[in-house]
């Protein structure tokens, strides 16, 4: 089978297209014939020696990617719920070695859900790591009726987060540039702040919760608009003690949270996709041999919704 290997950390050297044996599923795994995978910023970070690189750098061959949709073509001896022919999607082995940039992927049964019949494999591949992240953050931190500021509402995590925050009964404020204002409104945001024109700290105040997708200055300034006793979860990277302490003067808790593969959370996402309570947005669809173009798009930081790659 064809797969993409990371040979050298950095963006200069292209990922190498290699020929590998089709993997054998372990007893708790299924073998998936990949239809589509999606790309996340963590793929790029890991490629550059950041992200989860430290956890998987000794793997060989090192194959990036965690988000998959495809068809089960073989099952391990201890697999209970999935069978050959099932169409499945999920986030495989995150934050470990997902090995998804490949024509076949062996994945634990309990990292997957059955693909809803009303969505395409493109849409399913898009509704994995980004959707799970928003869901896991909100389950842990959001209360019904909270007001929430979602930075980067037009991105992969943000576009799911807006829709899910509405399901959780929140009042949703989101930041986006002018070109994405209508898109973000259509997802259900009650207020959109065009961050290119307006300082968000002047456009909202006393929110219960901030979902920070930007870190740095955006994270620091977000403390100003959280109410006393409120919370911020920052996703881009781990936080220094200095940052964590910086909310203490108003009792604002600031945490980093890392998404993890979960069968129960995939089942919830599948249910919401089936009932159309969440609708994924796939802005671009790349061919397998266009992996470098796909990486460049995500690296731009300007992707609307998700991009996917066919296998
Ligand atoms: N900790 C975890 O488990 C976890 C999980 C998922 C993601 N993450 C991290 O969370 C971050 C976001 O991930 P993602 O997948 O949502 O990224 P993404 O899809 O690449 O985000 C792109 C979006 O960011 C928006 N954007 C860029 N600059 C902005 C700014 N200054 N203010 C507001 N919006 C801005 C863009 O909208 P405009 O074009 O309108 O500017 C674009 O739509 C990344 O750092 C990622 O690694 C962490």
Q: pLDDT-derived band of residue 16, with 50, 70 and 90 as boundaries?
A: very high
Evaluated on CA atoms 131, 132, 135, 140, the torsion sign reads negative
Q: Report the nearest atom of ligand 1 relative to the CA of 177.
A: 40
Q: pLDDT-derived band of residue 264, with 50, 70 and 90 as boundaries?
A: very high
Q: pLDDT-derived band of residue 18, with 50, 70 and 90 as boundaries?
A: very high
Q: What was the pLDDT predicted at 65?
A: 98
Q: What was the pLDDT predicted at 296?
A: 98
pLDDT tens, residue by residue, 192-245: 999 999 999 999 999 999 999 999 999 999 999 999 999 999 999 999 999 999
Q: What was the pLDDT predicted at 82?
A: 98
Check if the beta carbon of residue 285 is closer than 8 Å to that of residue 307: yes
Ligand 1 center to 154 CA (angstroms)? 8
Q: Is 130 in the pocket of ligand 1 (CB under 6 A)?
A: yes
Q: What was the pLDDT predicted at 197?
A: 97
Q: Is 305 in the pocket of ligand 1 (CB under 6 A)?
A: no
Instruction: Give CA–CA dist 6/292, Å, rounded.
Output: 12
Q: Report the nearest atom of ligand 1 relative to the CA of 305.
A: 19
Mean pLDDT across the chain, nearest whole number?
98
Q: Give the residue from 272, 265, 278, 287 showing the smallest Cα distance to 305.
A: 278
Token pair belonging to 224: 């100003």
Q: Report the nearest atom of ligand 1 relative to the CA of 195.
A: 32
Q: Is 70 in the pocket of ligand 1 (CB under 6 A)?
A: no
The dihedrals phi and psi of 134, each to the nearest 5 degrees, come to -60, -45
Q: Is 136 in the pocket of ligand 1 (CB under 6 A)?
A: no
Ligand 1 center to 270 CA (angstroms)? 23
Q: Report the nearest atom of ligand 1 relative to the CA of 158.
A: 16
Q: What three-state secondary structure class fits 36?
A: strand
217: how many CB neighbours lie within 10 A of its CB? 8
Q: What was the pLDDT predicted at 295?
A: 98
* Residue among 47, 180, 301 to mutate when testing ligand 1 (max atoms within 8 A of CB): 301
Q: Is 134 in the pocket of ligand 1 (CB under 6 A)?
A: no
Q: What was the pLDDT predicted at 311?
A: 97
Separation of first and last alpha carbons in the chain: 10
Percent of the chain scoring above 70 in pLDDT: 100
Mean of pLDDT values over 284-299: 98
Q: Report the nearest atom of ligand 1 relative to the CA of 215.
A: 45
Which residues fall within 8 angstroms of residue 300, CB to CB, at 6 or more apart? none
Q: What was the pLDDT predicted at 39?
A: 98
Delineate the domains of the chain, giving CATH numbers in brackets.
2-127+280-310 (3.90.180.10), 130-256 (3.40.50.720)
The dihedrals phi and psi of 40, each to the nearest 5 degrees, come to -125, 160
Mean of pLDDT values over 255-261: 97
Ligand 1 center to 227 CA (angstroms)? 24
Q: Report the nearest atom of ligand 1 relative to the CA of 306.
A: 19
For ligand 1, atom 36: residue with the closest CA: 302
Q: Is 233 in the pocket of ligand 1 (CB under 6 A)?
A: no
Q: pLDDT-derived band of residue 29, with 50, 70 and 90 as boundaries?
A: very high
For ligand 1, atom 13: residue with the closest CA: 157
Instruction: Give CA–CA dist 44/64, Å, rounded.
Output: 9
Q: What was the pLDDT predicted at 143?
A: 94
Q: pLDDT-derived band of residue 283, with 50, 70 and 90 as boundaries?
A: very high
For ligand 1, atom 30: residue with the closest CA: 152
Mean of pLDDT values over 244-258: 97
* Residue among 48, 125, 155, 215 to mutate when testing ligand 1 (max atoms within 8 A of CB): 155
Buried b (16+ CB within 10 A) or exposed e, 269-308: bbebbeeeebbbbbbbbbebeebeebbebbbeeebbbbbb
Q: Is 304 in the pocket of ligand 1 (CB under 6 A)?
A: yes
Q: Is 200 in the pocket of ligand 1 (CB under 6 A)?
A: no
Q: What was the pLDDT predicted at 95?
A: 97
């Amino acid at each position: 089978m064809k797969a993409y290997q990371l040979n050298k950390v950095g963006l200069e050297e292209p990922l190498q297209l290699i020929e590998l044996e089709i993997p054998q599923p372990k007893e708790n795994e299924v073998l998936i014939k990949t239809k589509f995978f999606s790309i996340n910023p963590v793929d790029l970070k890991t490629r550059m020696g950041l992200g989860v690189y430290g956890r998987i750098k000794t793997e060989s061959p090192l194959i990036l990617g965690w988000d998959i949709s495809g068809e089960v073509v073989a099952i391990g001896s201890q697999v209970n719920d999935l069978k050959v022919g099932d169409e499945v999607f999920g986030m495989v082995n995150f934050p470990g070695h997902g090995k998804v940039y490949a024509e076949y992927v062996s994945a634990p049964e309990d990292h997957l859900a059955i693909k809803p019949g009303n969505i395409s494999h493109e849409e399913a591949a898009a509704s994995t790591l980004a959707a799970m992240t928003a869901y896991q953050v909100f389950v842990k931190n959001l209360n019904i009726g909270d007001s929430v500021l979602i930075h980067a509402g037009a991105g992969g995590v943000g576009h799911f987060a807006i829709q899910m925050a509405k399901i959780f009964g929140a009042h949703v404020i989101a930041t986006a540039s002018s070109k994405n204002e209508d898109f973000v409104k259509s997802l259900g945001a009650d207020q959109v702040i065009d961050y290119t024109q307006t300082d968000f700290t002047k456009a909202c105040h006393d929110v219960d919760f901030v979902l920070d997708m930007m870190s740095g200055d955006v994270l620091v300034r977000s403390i100003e608009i959280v109410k006393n006793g409120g919370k911020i979860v920052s996703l881009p990277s781990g936080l220094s003690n200095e940052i964590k302490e910086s909310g203490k003067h108003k009792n604002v808790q600031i945490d980093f949270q890392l998404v993890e593969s979960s069968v129960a959370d995939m089942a919830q996402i599948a249910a919401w996709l089936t009932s159309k309570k969440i609708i994924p947005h796939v802005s671009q669809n790349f061919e397998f041999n266009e992996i470098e173009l796909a990486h460049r798009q995500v690296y731009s930081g300007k992707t609307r919704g998700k991009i996917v790659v066919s296998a």
